[in-house]
Amino acid sequence: MTSIKTVSILGAGQMGSGIAQAVALGGYEVRLYDVSAERSAGAQGVIGASLARRVARDVVDAASAEAALKRISIVSTLTEAAKADLVIEAISEQEAAKKAVLTELTPLLGPDTLLASNTSSISITRLASVTDRPERFIGLHFMKPAPVMKLVEIVRGIATSAQTYEAAVAFAESLGKTTTEAEDFPAFIVNRILAPMMNEAVYTLYEGVGDVASIDTALKLGANHPMGPLELADFMGLDVVLAIMNVLHEGLADTKYRPCPLLVKYVEAGWLGRKSGRGFYDYSGPTPAPTR
């Protein structure tokens, strides 16, 4: 098994940039690629600002932050991104889009390159099937925000080799993460439990059982959750929550996973949470304000 020294991240959004930061802090050379030149151009600034906040909080020392930032290179083509020991796909949570980029990437890879997806819900086996190396393909599901959250969910596809699994665990642990092994079922472990809870909170709002503030306060103080479920849904992105619920509903054919119509309506309106400025909360003012 080739040792991992260089890691490419496909996708320079919130997850991709966060993973790049965590991997660079772990001492790896990072190549960050995005189809959007605008996102790519802004990614290094976003990562730099995130590292500066961590230095200010004494979580990371200034020298380590500076060295990590220098390890991150922005690349403009998949050909450049393919020149790595490990490539982690971290684009939007849409199966067709993931398969398209993996199909385009595969012929560009070296024979020993490992492939991983940061998917939060989609079958690793299906994603691996469009590549030439299903035995060297694995799920590496970082939690959001990737530099802060300690867990990486490791998901094997049906063809993933034991060597690939061991390399993935060693890689994640080298970043200071704790790993859990999940079987390749829809949404794996974390989101199999978490997304239905958020969806049920939306149903609770939809049916008028409580308003946004009451629901989030109830779970924070009544169940000792650090964030309320609607606040958390906004943080994750309502489009991501809906995508996970659709994967669960379609993959398990159980009505308990039916996305709440109100969640669908918010996504159709473009109210995706924090990233769009409005979801179950309005983020335009100094303090998020409930929208219902």
What is the per-residue pLDDT across 80-118, written as a single tens digit (0 to 9) for each?
Answer: 999 999 999 999 999 999 999 999 999 999 999 999 999
Percent above pLDDT 70 for the chain = 99
Domains, the chain, ranges and CATH?
6-182 (3.40.50.720), 192-290 (1.10.1040.10)
Q: Please say if 166 is a catalytic residue.
A: no
**pLDDT value at residue 2:** 57
pTM: 0.90
Q: Name the strands in the sheet holding 137-142, side by side, starting at the edge strand that comes first in the sequence.
A: 72-75, 29-33, 6-10, 86-89, 114-117, 137-142, 151-156, 178-182
pLDDT at 60 over 50: yes
Catalytic residue among 120, 121, 123, 199: 120
pLDDT, tens only, 168-222:
999 999 999 999 999 999 999 999 999 999 999 999 999 999 999 999 999 999 9
pLDDT, tens only, 236-250:
999 999 999 999 999
Catalytic residue among 40, 123, 191, 199: 191
Smallest CA-to-CA distance from 250 within 159, 187, 157 is with 187
Instruction: Give CA–CA dist 4/195, Å, rounded.
Output: 33
Residue 41's pLDDT band, with cuts at 50, 70 and 90, is confident
List the structure tokens of 115: 């492939």
Instruction: Give CA–CA dist 4/29, Å, rounded.
Output: 10
Residue type at 28 in one-letter notation? Y
Q: Please say if 199 is a catalytic residue.
A: no
Q: Please say if 191 is a catalytic residue.
A: yes
Catalytic residue among 89, 93, 153, 231: 153
Q: How far is CA 73 from the centre of its chain?
A: 20
Mean pLDDT, rounded, of the chain? 96
Q: Please say if 225 is a catalytic residue.
A: no
**pLDDT value at residue 1:** 45
Give backbone dihedrals phi and psi of 72, rounded to 5 degrees, phi first: -95, 120
Catalytic residue among 123, 141, 199, 231: 141
